[in-house]
């Protein structure tokens, strides 16, 4: 950490050609928006792909706006919606399940593998489908985080010692936490991580806004 310290505070470390660079623990299926039904998702992607072949940006935008009705289908979900069977739980549960699966795998211990960095997905993933859905919701990757109150809600509970048996092992083998929109609740997350490394437990008062 000393080597990564910035003169004005904070840290930044670039890893280039480093054998200890983070292992890939990112899954683009863990997005804020999507479809619970594969058929519906494929149909949406086909429609969106056709729109993106329009001869001009204006026509592409008009085409995308014309397919917004798909957002009303029961198979669609978003991390900040709680009605019509499209609740936030679908997105939160998927991401938590992925992080729990990654955390359950012990770090490699062979020669030359010790000290590898293993990341924790503390953010929504992004793929072509979720990018277009975000546009249709008049949102963005950073707005998705803020609208779902992810950093100061679910993520804070996941990385803090909140007494939940599902959350407790999440950081057992992980040493990096990927976060979107760090300006929203960043200092609180840092405090939680530091407390997690100390003996005993710290249980913050966190508003129950979406998520697990």
How deeply is 92 buried, as exposed, middle or buried, from its count of CB atoms within 10 A (0-12, 13-18, 19+)? buried
pLDDT for the residue numbered 211: 40
pLDDT for the residue numbered 205: 41
Q: How far is CA 47 from CA 28, 35, 36, 52, 93, in A?
A: 20, 14, 17, 9, 27
- Residue 162 in any domain: the answer is yes
User: What CA–CA distance (Å, rounded) separates 19 from 16?
Assistant: 9
pLDDT for the residue numbered 19: 54
User: What CA–CA distance (Å, rounded) separates 46 from 36?
Assistant: 16
> What is the DSSP annotation of 86-98?
--THHHHHHHHHH
- Residue 177 in any domain: the answer is yes
pTM, to two decimals = 0.76
Domain containing residue 176: 21-196
- Residue 169 in any domain: the answer is yes
- Residue 186 in any domain: the answer is yes
pLDDT for the residue numbered 30: 92
* CA atoms within 13 A of residue 84's CA, in its CB half-sphere: 11
- Residue 5 in any domain: the answer is no
Q: For the chain (length 212 residues), average pLDDT per consecutive 10?
A: 79 65 75 89 88 89 86 86 68 89 76 67 89 90 92 86 73 79 89 74 43 40
pLDDT for the residue numbered 171: 75
Q: Report whether 130 contacts 33 (CB < 8 A).
A: yes
- Residue 205 in any domain: the answer is no
- Residue 102 in any domain: the answer is yes
- 23 forms beta bridges with 118
The structural domain count of the chain equals 1
- Residue 167 in any domain: the answer is yes
pLDDT for the residue numbered 199: 58
């Amino acid at each position: 950490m000393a080597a990564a310290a910035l003169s004005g505070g904070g840290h930044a470390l670039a890893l280039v050609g480093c054998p200890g660079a983070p292992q890939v623990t990112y899954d683009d299926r863990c997005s804020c928006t999507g479809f619970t039904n594969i058929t519906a998702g494929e149909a949406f992607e086909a429609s969106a792909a056709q729109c993106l072949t329009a001869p001009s940006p204006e026509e592409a935008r008009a085409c995308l706006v014309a397919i917004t009705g798909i957002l009303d289908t029961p198979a669609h979900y978003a991390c900040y919606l709680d009605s019509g069977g499209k609740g936030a739980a679908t997105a939160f549960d998927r991401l938590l399940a992925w992080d729990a699966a990654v955390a359950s795998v012990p770090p490699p211990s062979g020669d030359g593998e010790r000290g590898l960095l293993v990341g924790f997905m503390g953010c929504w993933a992004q793929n072509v489908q979720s990018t277009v859905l975000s546009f249709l919701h008049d949102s963005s990757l950073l707005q998705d985080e803020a609208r779902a109150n992810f950093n100061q809600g679910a993520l804070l509970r996941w990385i803090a010692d909140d007494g939940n048996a599902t959350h407790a092992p999440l950081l057992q083998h992980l040493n990096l936490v990927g976060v979107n929109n760090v300006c929203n609740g960043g200092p609180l997350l840092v405090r939680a991580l530091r407390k997690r490394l100390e003996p005993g437990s710290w249980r913050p008062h966190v508003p129950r806004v979406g998520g697990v």
